[in-house]
Amino acid sequence: MIFRGKVWKFGDNVDTDAIIPARYLTTSDPRELALHCMEDADPNFVARMKTGDIILGGENFGCGSSREHAPIAIKAAGVSCVVAKSFARIFYRNSFNMGLPIFESVELVDAIKDGEEITVDSSRGTIAIAGSTKTFTINPIPPFMEKLIADGGLMKHISRK
Amino acid sequence: MGNTITEKILTAHTKLKKISAGQLINARVDIALGNDVTAPIAINEFIKAGGKKVFNKNKIALVLDHFTPNKDINSAQQCKAVREFALKQKIIHFYEGGNVGIEHALLPEQGIVLPGDLVVGADSHTCTYGALGAFATGVGSTDLAAVMLTGELWFKVPESIKFVIYGKLQKWVSGKDLILHIIGRIGVDGALYKAMEFTGETIGKLPMADRLSMANMAIEAGAKNGIFAPDAITREYVKKRAKRDYKFYSSDADAVYSDIIEINAGVIEPQVAFPHLPSNVKPINKAGKIKIDQSLIGSCTNGRIEDLRIAAQILKKRKAAPTVRLIVIPATPAIYKQALKEGLIEVFMNADAIISPPSCGACLGGHMGILAEGERAVATTNRNFVGRMGHTKSEVYLASPAVAAASAVLGRIASPEEL
């Protein structure tokens, strides 16, 4: 898969309360949740982002609550994928289980500025910054997780078994 | 090469003879938990996947504790959806209304989770049950759906960090202070994907309520689970509650750890985590003069009877400062009744406290205790992220019940020693 978009760069330890504040958890409707994506980290994010844009995080992206509403909100907002230095573990599971593509690359996050455009090539495991010849390597995804993605998430994976 | 308690419990729930850290496994689940926020998505996924009947109606717990008593029409709809599912599926451990308690206080109290169990919950603080010597970890709603369908789930076997804690705790220092100190030391991702195993002479004497507080916050260091080897204290806690068999596991002497961290608990003072990360920890004497608007005593971290006793000891014959809203939340109906019996509720009411029904509402900025712009709260809860308890420009300081009670009286963050 190829993901191309402008990056929205956030810092370390972006928690799920910032991704989707608890005050909106009285619904699980993806369209409703999408309206408040990243609201407590950047209140203008939803208004300014375009479909296909990419969220960039530092260390421990998605820490805190287990709410699957967080990856649901990101995906429904039209974000194509998330690249971070590292992910908190429940967010990591949730993303693979429900089908939000996420990638780890410390070097890319360090090298890139907010607003630049990148191309993520998940099958080749590389990320390129637009206007630059340098490519960055994505941390390899375990084979089981690749299978999850190929099957279309956890529920489809277990139905297939 | 030996195994850790975490590896042993996980192995016992597979068909494998031996597993090691890093391995991906499929394991049987003993108890799977969901609440009014996370279960609706799980139920939806369960139905979408063609689910007709849950794998075992005795092994699922559905606890409507987050936006309850129902905050608004939307939250009422969510509770209704879970209730209808629970009744249709004849879920045994379904809690709503007068029998509901905060899930992570309720499940151990009712003997629903037991030593040696493999527990998953669509709530990040599911790691609380590690205090009993269970493997317990937070997962997402889709995970919960998969377990409800199959009774199994995928796990990556975590490496373990061993904490060896020694020394006699000073007055007013509790399990909450120990875990805040540890998170302050290793950071909010200091145990990312790993198991935190708590051992040492201090732990051997630590009451169950304190162990539950510590295991509860393992997630705040990024951990997959926190765990204590069961002992006489565990046996005492469990024997009057268990209605089924359970098993004690412990780590081998030659088990492999990714790190071993020694902590002298004897020198630790009451701790306060400053905004906006649980790792932003200072000892109380370095807190400075921080005026507060609200003090919250409760939550899955510190809403147990032992916590309320400490708070009442400090609040007896005293009053919350007129500028402070003091909110006390007994975590379960049984704790509430016991607090009434012991006269603690009267102490709190005489101190001008608001007594809340058992609910997670205030802790996650849901309802019943929201902060306005610029307000500050000291809370015995587990998270102080931006906007956690309300406005993005409000602040949460995490501390023990003793510090929260003393702070309520003095109107600023304070140690009970200052009273």
Does pLDDT of A161 surpass 90? no
Confidence of residue B404 (pLDDT cuts 50, 70, 90): very high
Mutation site for B-interface testing, chosen from A85, A86, A87, A89 by largest number of B Cβ within 10 Å: A89
| A21/B387 Cβ within 8 A | yes
- B139 reaches A (C-beta below 8 A): yes
| B41/A69 Cβ within 8 A | yes
Q: CA B366 to CA A21: how far, in whole Å?
A: 9
| A66/B189 Cβ within 8 A | no
Does pLDDT of B175 surpass 80? yes
Q: What is the structure's pLDDT at A152? A: 87
Q: What is the structure's pLDDT at A159? A: 86
**Chain B residues 237-276 within an 8 A CB cutoff of chain A:** none
| Mean pLDDT of the B24-52 span | 97
Residue among B191, B189, B224 nearest A86 (CA): B189
The two structure tokens encoding residue B281: 């920890």
What digits encode the pLDDT tens for the residues B53-65? 999 999 999 999 9
Across chain B, mean pLDDT equals 98
User: Measured between CB atoms, which of A60, A153, A158 is closest to B150?
Assistant: A158
Q: With beta carbons under 8 A apart, name residues in chain B contacting A89.
A: 192-193, 222, 224
- B55 reaches A (C-beta below 8 A): no
Which residues, 6 or more positions from B115, have their beta carbon under 8 angstroms from its beta carbon?
A: B132, B133, B134, B230, B234, B238, B246, B247, B248, B249
C-beta separation of B305 from B297 below 8 A: no
Q: With beta carbons under 8 A apart, name residues in chain A contacting B140.
A: 66-68, 90, 93-94, 97-98
What digits encode the pLDDT tens for the residues A3-13? 999 999 999 99
What digits encode the pLDDT tens for the residues B137-171? 999 999 999 999 999 999 999 999 999 999 999 99
- A70 reaches B (C-beta below 8 A): no
Q: What is the structure's pLDDT at B154? A: 96
Other beta carbons within 10 angstroms of residue B19's beta carbon come to 18
* Å between A133 CA and nearest CA of chain B: 33
ipTM of model: 0.97
Does pLDDT of B199 surpass 80? yes
Does pLDDT of B398 surpass 80? yes
- B365 reaches A (C-beta below 8 A): yes
What digits encode the pLDDT tens for the residues B214-237? 999 999 999 999 999 999 999 999
| Mean pLDDT of the A48-64 span | 98
Q: What is the structure's pLDDT at B383? A: 98
Q: Which long-range contacts (CB under 8 A, 24 or more apart) does B18-25 make?
A: B19/B157, B20/B157, B21/B157, B21/B158, B21/B159, B21/B160, B21/B256, B21/B258, B22/B156, B22/B157, B22/B159, B23/B156, B23/B157, B24/A142, B24/A144, B24/B154, B24/B155, B24/B156, B24/B157, B25/B154, B25/B155, B25/B156, B25/B157
Phi (first) and psi of residue B360, to 5 degrees: -85, -5
Q: Is A161 exposed, middle or buried (0-12, 13-18, 19+ CB in 10 A)?
A: exposed
Give the percent of chain B with pLDDT over 70. 100
Q: Is B306 left (phi over 0), alpha (psi -120 to 50) or beta?
A: alpha
What digits encode the pLDDT tens for the residues A77-117? 999 999 999 999 999 999 999 999 999 999 999 999 999 99
**Chain B residues 160-179 within an 8 A CB cutoff of chain A:** none
What digits encode the pLDDT tens for the residues B380-393? 999 999 999 999 99
- B127 reaches A (C-beta below 8 A): no
- Residue written as token pair 């990360």: B277
- Residue written as token pair 């369209």: A31
Q: What is the structure's pLDDT at B217? A: 98
| A27/B78 Cβ within 8 A | yes
- Amino acid (1-letter code) at residue B250: S
The two structure tokens encoding residue B142: 């889709």
Q: With beta carbons under 8 A apart, name residues in chain B contacting A20.
A: none
